[in-house]
């Protein structure tokens, strides 16, 4: 049975570069929520799921742009911002596909780890979700 210590960790400087690189490309639900509260014009949150999934519930202020429909003109219309992609959660790679496409088109982007699942686990609410329709 393998153990965590079977393969030695790299030198600390190499690890620091690795983890800093991950932080440059990834963010989490709590940090996105805080940014939306303090500086909402600094980011555009991109829901990469289907229009039907988006309509059923999404992060407040998010725009729905599935990766197959992303183009430079649509992204440029949002101005000089950081794009943040998300999808369903850890089991879904739609956010990764969207982030790759946005980067290929030349725009700054991060992937929000956790997606919809993480957003709700953090205690944040979705808009357009069934509970919102009942409250209306």
Residue 45 is given by DSSP the state: E
Domain chopping of the chain, boundaries: 27-135
84, 48 in Cβ contact below 8 A? no
Query: Which is it for the CA torsion 35, 67, 59, 23, positive or negative?
Result: negative
pTM metric for this prediction: 0.90
User: In which band, very low, low, confident or very high, does the pLDDT at 69 lie, cut at 50, 70 and 90?
Assistant: very high
Using DSSP's 3-state secondary structure scheme, residue 89 falls into coil
102, 78 in Cβ contact below 8 A? no
User: In which band, very low, low, confident or very high, does the pLDDT at 81 lie, cut at 50, 70 and 90?
Assistant: very high
pLDDT 10s digits, 22-66? 999 999 999 999 999 999 999 999 999 999 999 999 999 999 999
86, 115 in Cβ contact below 8 A? yes
Architecture (CATH level 2) of domain 27-135:
3-Layer(aba) Sandwich (3.40)
């Amino acid at each position: 049975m393998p153990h965590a210590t079977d393969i030695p960790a790299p030198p600390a400087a190499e690890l620091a570069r690795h983890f800093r690189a991950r932080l440059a490309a990834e963010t989490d639900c709590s940090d996105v929520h805080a940014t939306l509260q303090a500086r909402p014009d600094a980011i555009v949150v991109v829901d990469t799921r289907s229009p039907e999934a988006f309509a059923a519930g999404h992060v407040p202020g998010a725009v729905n742009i599935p990766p197959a429909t992303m183009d430079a003109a649509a992204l440029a219309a949002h101005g000089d911002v950081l794009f943040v992609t998300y999808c369903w959660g850890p089991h879904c790679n739609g956010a990764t596909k969207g982030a790759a496409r946005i980067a290929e088109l030349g725009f700054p982007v991060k992937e929000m780890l956790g997606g919809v699942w993480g957003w709700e686990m953090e205690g944040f609410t979705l808009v357009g979700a069934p509970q919102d329709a009942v409250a209306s």
